[in-house]
Structure 1
């Protein structure tokens, strides 16, 4: 297949490219600086988001468009300026994707737009599936709603639109895990906040595999939760890290301290939601890492 990826040089994008190359797909990566990229077999870099760019010319005939673009939520304290950048980076790149799609004579079979389980808001008691609405609005929830609203315009230019609502993605050297694991290496790991908050996690390998699964399965459309079928509460998550690393889990990190250090961004670890990947399960997607212990052994050992 001929597949275009926006945000292909990021954490998820790099994992997805590796997965696509296994099947010899034709990959087009949208980037501001294609001249700076190393030559990779099966991968072509296409300039976008700069004045001289006309990516629609090189993307003629694409069968799938996957948009992973957006400022990282972990890129710094959530000042008013940073929050604007987080929102605008998502809306603007998605808007450009819509423009490109509108210019294509032959429309792609599927568009997958990145999203987040933050859509649902936070709760210690609720269980969220793709059919759930927003439980409690906060900055992240409002951001995701704006993002999906903009992306929904792609329905006019493709046969099928998927919102990939990512949970907390675990990887060896990127994502949330390295930061969470560091205290354990110094024998200082412990429960973050109350420990009751839910962490709906997913291994980076399963993220890449599930994206390709959604590309291939014509019956999948709308929101899809990208999270493992076994979410954990933060206390148990930390204890499992300690067990896998053979380190103690004893040094608690109080909520007030994280709020002082991180401000509003502390919500990423102090609050959470229990999310079930109902769509992936109903369509019989097989998780390589459905279990946290196995996932952490793979990533930490």
Structure 2
């Protein structure tokens, strides 16, 4: 395996995955902007513009990583929700159409997804063997996205749906926002505190993506979460401990709902998700526990 094609490669998660993979593979990132300078083992290919012909610029592609889609951050108005869904379906369909034009299909297709597939619960534990999916907006988006991406299976590609948990990083994700109140000595439990947070360090996310590409034992859904989820109360307490700040000022649910609307469910509701496939395949998390992850990211 030599060449990897990435859509959505310029975002927070895409940048970290590219940084890890480029030491081993040649990376081709699809982009609407063609003014990005090439890096070592990284080339940018114009895509989804009126005159772009990426199929003529690409060599044989061994793996595809599909991360493209409208950010879920922001108030979920009706227009925003439509953009979140449509962007994922249209980008995936366009990527499938592109791959069909290549001389041969990739051996593996890794599609971004989310643990939002499972819906929310304070009592249930979700693994890749969980058959039922949630009925809220995010669950329906994930279900539709994965259904669209299953088109890669008909091309003969081993297809993987990487269901991301709450991604923690220094330069993106939700950690900067969640840790900000603690910097001003105003941190505390968000909502009830009993909701589960299934999280993952961005470094482990990138490593697991690489693992799913290289290890043929992976297919279907793969939970990309650390093996030790915590409650939101514990999450806040660990932030305070690592930052040497008090954990004392509660953030009531009503305030979050006022600020973020329906999107507040990402923080106020949760699910306990375990990465059974990764563990059963012997994957070693660099940051299996929250305290170690936050020490790395916040200090």
Shorter-chain TM-score bucket reads: over 0.9
| Aligned equivalent of 2:13 | 12
Q: Does the residue aligned with 1:184 lie in a helix, a strand or coil? A: helix
| Structure-1 separation of matches of 2:134 and 2:209 | 28
Q: Is the aligned partner of 1:34 residue 2:34?
A: yes
Counterpart position of 1:61: 60
Contact residue 121 and residue 134 of structure 1 kept, 8 A: no
Q: Match of 2:48?
A: 49
What does 1:170-185 align with in structure 2 at a 5 Å threshold? 170-185=168-183
C-alpha contact 2:12 2:171 (8 A) present in aligned 1:
no
Q: Distance in 2 between matches of 1:199 and 1:133?
A: 21
**Higher mean C-alpha displacement, 95-104 vs 268-277:** 95-104
Aligned residue number for residue 186 of structure 1? 184
SS of 1:22's equivalent?
Answer: coil
Q: State the distance in 1 between where 2:298 and 2:156 align.
A: 40
Shift of 1:149: 0.7
Query: d(CA) in 2 for partners of 1:223 and 1:47?
Result: 30
The residue number in structure 2 matching 1:249 is 247
CA root-mean-square deviation: 0.9
Matched-pair contact (CA < 8 Å) for 2:194–2:231: yes
The answer to which of 251-260 and 120-129 deviates more is: 251-260
How does the TM-score come out when normalised to structure 2?
0.98
Any gaps of 5 or more consecutive residues in structure 2?
A: none
Per the alignment, residue 266 of structure 2 pairs with 268
Decide whether aligned partners of structure 1 residues 135 and 125 sit closer, same or farther in structure 2, where only a CA change above 3 A counts. farther
Residue correspondence of structure 1 range 1-301 to structure 2 within 5 A: 1-23=2-24, 25-35=25-35, 37-74=36-73, 76-301=74-299
Give the CA deviation at 1:135: 5.0
Q: How far, CA to CA, are the matches of 2:48 and 2:123 in structure 1?
A: 42
SS of 1:281's partner is helix
SS at the partner of 1:3?
A: strand
Alignment partner of 2:88: what SS?
helix
Count of residues paired in the alignment? 298
Q: Segments of 4+ in structure 1 off by > 4 A? A: none
Cα drift, residue 39 of structure 1: 2.6
Supply the distance in 1 between the matched residues of 2:207 and 2:72 (Cα, whole angstroms).
Answer: 23
Instruction: Structure 1: give runs of 5+ residues left out of the alignment.
Output: none
